[in-house]
Structures are given as structure tokens and as C-alpha cells.
Structure 1
Amino acid sequence: MLRWALTFFIIAIIAALFSFGGIAGAATEIAKIIFFVFVVLLVISLIANAVRGKGPKI
């Protein structure tokens, strides 16, 4: 999921370089949404593993 966010961020940067403002803005918003979904799922996963008593895999 983080890879998708990074992909949309790169698309936004390239679109901004070529002066495609609408596409750059849309790609930026999509990247932000995906990133925040990733962060929420990461926190939920860490809390669930802590409640179960499992440590992170190293």
C-alpha cells in the first residue's frame, strides 16, 4: 500500500513538471488518502499484535 502511495506521489511530481495541474492535484490527493489508510492499518496491526502478546518479526 505504501508503494501505491509512492507511485501516485511520483505521478503527481511528473504531472506538475509538465504543467498538468489537475492531474497533479488529483494524484496528490490519492497519494495522501492511501498513505493515511496505510498508517491507520499499521497502527491497528501493531495494537492487535501487542494485545495478542506477539512481538514484531525481526
Structure 2
Amino acid sequence: MIKLALICLVIALVAAIFGFGGVSGAFVNIAIALFVIAMILFVVFLVLGLMAGKKVKDTVDRM
């Protein structure tokens, strides 16, 4: 998802160089949205991974 955000930023930069301000702004907004979604997913999966790791550790400690 971060890769898609970077691609959108490059497209926005190229569009801005050629004078397509509206297209450039749209791609910047898409890139920001993709980045925010990627960061939210990262945090969610990080928390889930930490919780799962704790349960595994507790299970191993009981044995």
C-alpha cells in the first residue's frame, strides 16, 4: 500500500511539472489516503501481533 502511495506521489509530481494542477491535487489526495490507511492497518496488525505473541508466551510458560 505504501508502494501505491509513492507511485501516486510520483504521478502527482509529473502532472504538476506538466501543469496539470487538478490531476496533481487529486493524486496527492489519493496518496495521502493510501498512506493513512496503511498506517492504520500497521497499528492494528501490530497490536494484534503483540496480543497473539503474549498468548503464545503464556501458553508456553504453563508447559
Aligned length: 54
Output the amino acid matched with 2:40: V
Alignment of 1:1-58 (within 5 A): 1-53=1-53
Output the amino acid matched with 1:21: G
CA distance in 1, matches of 2:39, 2:9: 16
CA distance in 1, matches of 2:39, 2:10: 19
Q: Which runs of 5+ in 2 are unaligned?
A: 55-63
**TM-score where L is the length of structure 2:** 0.83
How far off is 1:43 after superposition?
0.4
**TM-score where L is the length of structure 1:** 0.90
Structure 1 vs Structure 2 CA RMSD: 0.9
Q: Which runs of 5+ in 1 are unaligned?
A: none
- Per the alignment, in what secondary structure is the counterpart of residue 19 of structure 2? coil
Structure with the largest fraction of helix: 2
Output the amino acid matched with 1:14: V
Percent of paired sites with the same residue: 39
